[in-house]
């Protein structure tokens, strides 16, 4: 069964691989993305570091909650947060 509502859940086959690659090239080569990446590369590098290092994640988390320890945290899959907008470009709190 295929969920058409969210592309992250679509089943993909080898015929879409070229389209995915073309989309990736288009995204990476877009001037706006390049300017954004050049301006905020340090934030992105920090995010990557915290994503791959539990010690770095715990250290950053302890700035918010000093009593937290590494053994309080367990590995889990990443979730997806959808942010719906209304037609007037305002936030919506209902899904």
SS3 48: helix
Burial of 68 (0-12, 13-18, 19+ CB in 10 A): middle
pLDDT at position 7 is 47
pLDDT recorded at residue 60:
95
| This prediction's pTM | 0.52
pLDDT for 71: 93
User: What mean pLDDT is predicted for residues 67-72?
Assistant: 94
**Alpha-carbon gap, residue 54 to 52, rounded angstroms:** 7
Q: Map out the domains of the chain as residue ranges.
A: 18-72
């Amino acid at each position: 069964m295929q969920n058409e509502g969210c592309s992250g859940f679509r089943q993909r086959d080898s015929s879409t691989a070229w389209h995915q690659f073309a989309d990736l090239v288009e995204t990476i080569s877009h001037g706006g993305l390049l300017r954004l990446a050049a301006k905020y590369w340090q934030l992105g590098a920090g995010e990557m570091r915290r994503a791959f290092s539990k010690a770095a994640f715990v250290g950053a988390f302890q700035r918010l909650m000093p009593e937290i320890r590494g053994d309080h945290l367990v590995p889990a899959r990443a979730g997806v947060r959808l942010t719906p907008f209304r037609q007037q470009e305002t936030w919506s709190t209902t899904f």
